[in-house]
Amino acid sequence: MTNTGFNFAYIRVSTEEQNFESQMEAMKDLEFAKIFTEKRSAKDTNRPELQNMLDYVREGDTVYVKDFSRLARSTKDLLNIIDILESKKVKLISIKEKLDTSTPAGKLMVTMLGAIYEFERANLLERQKDGIMIAKRQGKYKGRKKILKPANWSDVYNDWVTRKITAKKACELLKLKTNTFYNFVKEERKETA
């Protein structure tokens, strides 16, 4: 039985605050059997939806991404993902770069683009680090702005401590991220210890 081949999309943003809109917009004229989305850093390939997509696709399928940086941060990871897809006879197409990895020219261009992206990211991080060092020397670097406890902290914290609400609900009520909530909880426990 031959697979007719389906189109799939992989859409990734790095943080919870970001949204998928620009990537969805880039693919609005295509039809997909399934869209894999996740809010995760690309620092490695151990991402649930990426792994689901790699497991799910079959011979004859095509995976679309807005650009290759959505798949991987390093050239090595990008090429590994492409190898996995190629071994399954799955095409990978980048909308932004207009590249199809199933062609020899496409594979060559992906390798070059991956190396350029990796180089650009390393340069960006280096410039950022240099800028922070200079700002620190000049006394201008303040670091991240300190987050203050919300006005309703005591009430919500007490409800959480007495198990009237879950941590998730507490974060919603306080409009805080989970890690910030638990940092405040640590502070609170130190103060009352």
CB contact at 8 A, 96 and 47: no
Q: CA nearest 147: which of 107, 174, 172, 120? A: 174
> How far, in Å, are 6, 61, 85, 137 from residue 3 at the CA level?
8, 8, 15, 62
**By three-state DSSP, how is residue 138 classified?**
coil
User: Which amino acid is it at 28?
Assistant: K
* Cα–Cα distance measured from residue 48 to residue 160, given in angstroms and rounded to the nearest whole number: 30
Q: CA nearest 23: which of 60, 56, 76, 71? A: 71
Told to judge if 69 belongs to the known catalytic residues of this protein, a careful annotator would answer no
Catalytic residue among 14, 22, 87, 154: 14
User: Which amino acid is it at 11?
Assistant: I
Show the tokens assigned to 73.
Answer: 């941060």
Q: Which amino acids are annotated catalytic?
A: 14
